[in-house]
């Protein structure tokens, strides 16, 4: 058995006793697996659960129609093993229709079931390793091609003693005509000698470094240092050669200036040189300066880097830089301003021309397909822009305004432009808020809100299943909108109270359905501080519980701990009110700012939810560990349970 990451098996309608037996059998065979139990009803009702590697489905439950269950569950695209109530199970009828279904086995034969699980887990491990290797090789190929195509140093790829490609620096060094096609031209003998390494491919010793005399196309001789190593590109063994000419070394003043001013990855000027040049253009008389600055941020670049790799993301930045450079006038200042941020400064623009200019850049980036292995990636950008006016006193203020506008564009969902000026910012912000408020109002009227449920794992043996109730708004195109994009406006306009009412009502109805099935569940609902100010909140809660015919013991209301500092009396009255109907209470985002044990003692609190910011770097941050220990020490004598958010690995859990 190949051991890599733990594989999660979603056990649908599997009894706990059988899960424990299968866990033992798999562990004895060194399978790195964990089972997560869920009922078929909950699965089909889309109760949130961890993403599985494999699904184990029991079809012996009377509540499910077999073909309907298979059809619904097979939509997940994960491999499925079926457990059937009879000793003999026909598999031929479903295999052609549902290729995800791997096996159909007698429900009581745990040995055969565990063997099938081991087989599928090993297949998943091998597939995972194959994809990792393919991704690694693709990244290397892309990165080396990128070096050859864009690098500052002279670089070429050679195959069978002939050139495949060479970059501009190499062409210039060897005096090739810029328009000349050098593909298949025979390379110098000294370079051919490097193409037959003695050590096995891929080893560190495969790299060769030599000082030698080379000839340009003109016949001129020059001394150079060559660095070469073999690689495979598109199943062909090639040689990459980098040639360094001492006359262009760090001792050369022009080369030194190049290093100081240029961003190595993109070839654009770097941030420091951009600021120096910008200051020169504006220092004479800032009040009479006529210019505009745009900051261009690649949206969700961190996620792209995590999913596609560093080499690909670097190559993406280089391509975006060339796209931007191609839209600009030679007199424009263009730089790689930050990691995934580019800057453009242009002199003497009018507002309309500049707006049209940056809109075209945004459109070009959004419409470009960036190659990524066997598929293509489309990206978007957020642009913040600021124009000189009489109120600006220096370039730093110009940069600050562009930066604020760029951050606002990204926060509002990206793929947009925010133009800052003393008048347009106020008006534009007001118009945007009115549009968002209208969208929220329409979503309430048209029932375009949805609840999703995130499981909370108990480590103290508690039998109740617990879920955090999360809210999503659905736009008119059916796309989910996360709360951070609309909650602020909802709070500002007062519509948050109606949203919180809707969440309470829908959760009460869900609890009613769960209690009919005799399911013991706990739901955590987060309320806004603004809703606490509404005196009708408690009466509405009472009416929802009464209409649903349920007790409040399945509800836990959570409020940010910071609200206690600003609304102590209102919060105490609210907690007292929900306790009358047996609801529970939790402080959320606990840990920010100092807390007093007396605060916990003075309120009937049931849970503390420690903010994820303290948990994510728990292992490496002593201060955060101390904060969590203080919270646990203060809550334990009071029988207050603690919930750690954002726990992502076993080491953090053990801490």
Give CA 116 to chain center in angstroms: 34
Assess whether pLDDT exceeds 60 at residue 422.
no
Q: Which residues pair with 292 in a beta bridge?
A: 346, 387
DSSP 6: P
DSSP 262: B
- For the chain, which domains are there? 7-130 (3.40.50.2300), 151-248 (3.30.450.20), 261-422 (3.30.70.270), 437-654 (3.20.20.450)
Calpha distance 125→53 (Å, rounded): 10
92 or 642: which carries more pLDDT confidence?
642
Above pLDDT 90, what percent of the chain? Answer: 17
Q: Per-residue pLDDT tens for 525-560? A: 999 888 988 999 999 999 999 999 998 999 999 988
Query: How confident is residue 204, by pLDDT bands cut at 50, 70 and 90?
Result: very low
Closest CA to 298 of 371, 377, 356, 365: 365
C-beta of residue 599 within 8 angstroms of C-beta of residue 561: no
What are the contacts of 481-490 at 24+ separation with CB within 8 A? 485/412, 485/413, 486/436, 486/439, 486/440, 487/528, 489/433, 489/436, 489/437, 489/440, 490/440, 490/528
Average pLDDT, the chain: 77
- State residue 497's pLDDT score: 93
Q: Which of 57-61, 103-107, 548-552 has the lowest mean pLDDT?
A: 57-61
Overall average pLDDT of the 415-423 stretch: 72
Closest CA to 229 of 170, 180, 293, 156: 156
Assess whether pLDDT exceeds 70 at residue 213.
yes
Residues 6+ apart with CB under 8 A from 580: none
Residue 338 sits at φ, ψ, to 5 deg, of -155, -170
C-beta of residue 294 within 8 angstroms of C-beta of residue 365: no
Residues across the chain? 655
Burial per residue of 530-562, b for 16 or more beta-carbon CB atoms within 10 angstroms, e otherwise: bbbebeebbebbeebbeebebebebbbbbbbbe
Give me the helix-helix angle, 310-327 and 351-367, nearest 10°: 140
Query: How confident is residue 195, by pLDDT bands cut at 50, 70 and 90?
Result: very low
Instruction: Give 141: exposed, middle or buried? Use CB within 10 Å, 0-12, 13-18, 19+.
Output: middle
Q: Which two tokens stand for residue 8?
A: 């999660």
Calpha distance 614→624 (Å, rounded): 5
């Amino acid at each position: 058995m190949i051991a890599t990451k733990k594989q999660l098996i979603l056990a649908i309608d599997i009894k706990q006793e059988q899960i424990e037996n299968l866990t033992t059998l798999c562990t004895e065979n060194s399978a790195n697996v964990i089972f997560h139990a869920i009922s078929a009803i909950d699965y089909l009702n889309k109760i949130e659960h961890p993403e599985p590697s494999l699904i184990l489905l029991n079809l012996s439950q009377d509540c499910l129609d077999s073909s309907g269950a298979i059809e619904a569950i097979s939509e997940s695209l994960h491999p499925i093993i079926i457990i059937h109530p009879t000793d003999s199970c026909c598999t031929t009828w479903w295999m052609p229709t549902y290729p995800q279904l791997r096996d159909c086995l007698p429900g009581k034969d745990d040995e055969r079931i565990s063997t099938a699980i081991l087989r599928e887990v090993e297949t998943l491990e091998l597939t995972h390793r194959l994809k990792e290797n393919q991704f690694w090789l693709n990244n290397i190929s892309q990165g080396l091609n990128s070096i050859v195509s864009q690098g500052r140093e002279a670089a070429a790829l050679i195959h069978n003693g002939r050139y495949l490609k060479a970059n501009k620096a190499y062409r210039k060094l060897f005096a090739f005509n810029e328009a000349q096609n050098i593909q298949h031209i025979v390379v110098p003998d000294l370079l051919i000698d490097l193409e037959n390494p003695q050590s096995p491919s891929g080893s560190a010793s495969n790299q060769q470094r030599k000082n030698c005399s080379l000839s340009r196309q003109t016949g001129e001789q020059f001394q150079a240092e060559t660095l070469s190593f073999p690689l495979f590109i598109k199943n062909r063994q090639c040689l990459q050669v980098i040639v360094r000419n001492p006359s262009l070394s760090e001792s050369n003043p022009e080369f030194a200036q190049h290093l100081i001013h240029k961003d190595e990855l993109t070839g654009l000027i770097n941030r420091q040189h951009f600021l120096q040049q910008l200051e020169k253009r504006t220092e004479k008389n800032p009040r009479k300066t006529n210019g505009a600055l745009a900051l261009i941020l690649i949206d969700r670049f961190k996620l792209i880097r995590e999913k596609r790799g560093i080499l690909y993301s670097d190559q993406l930045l280089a391509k975006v830089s060339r796209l931007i450079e191609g839209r600009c006038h030679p007199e424009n200042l263009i730089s790689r301003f930050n990691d995934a941020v580019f800057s453009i400064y242009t002199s003497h623009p009018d507002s309309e021309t500049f707006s049209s200019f940056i809109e075209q850049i945004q459109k070009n980036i959004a419409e470009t397909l960036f190659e990524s292995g066997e598929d293509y990636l489309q990206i978007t950008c957020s642009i913040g822009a600021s124009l000189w006016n009489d109120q600006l006193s220096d370039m730093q203020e110009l940069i600050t305004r562009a930066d604020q506008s760029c951050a606002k564009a990204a926060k509002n969902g990206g793929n947009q432009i925010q133009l800052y000026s003393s008048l347009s910012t106020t008006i534009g912000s007001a118009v945007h808020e009115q549009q968002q408020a209208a969208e929220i109002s329409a979503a309430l009227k048209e029932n375009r809100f949805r609840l999703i449920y995130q499981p909370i794992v108990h480590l103290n043996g508690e039998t109740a299943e617990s879920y955090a109730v999360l809210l999503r708004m659905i736009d008119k195109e059916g796309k989910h909108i996360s709360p951070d994009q609309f909650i602020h406006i909802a709070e500002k306009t007062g519509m948050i109270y109606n949203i919180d009412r809707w969440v309470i009502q829908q959760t009460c109805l869900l609890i009613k359905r769960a209690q009919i099935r005799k399911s013991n569940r706990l739901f955590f609902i987060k309320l806004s501080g603004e809703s606490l100010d509404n005196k009708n909140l408690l009466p509405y809660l009472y009416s929802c519980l009464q209409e649903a015919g349920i007790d409040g013991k399945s509800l836990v209301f959570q409020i940010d701990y910071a609200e206690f500092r600003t609304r102590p009396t209102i919060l105490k009255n609210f907690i007292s009110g929900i306790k009358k109907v047996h609801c529970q209470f939790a402080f959320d985002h606990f840990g920010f700012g100092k807390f007093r044990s007396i605060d916990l003692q003075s309120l009937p609190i049931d849970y503390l939810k420690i903010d994820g910011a303290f948990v994510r770097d728990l292992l490496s941050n002593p201060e955060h560990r101390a904060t969590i220990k203080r919270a646990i020490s203060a809550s334990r004598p009071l029988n207050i349970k603690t919930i750690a958010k954002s726990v992502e690995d076993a080491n953090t859990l053990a801490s």
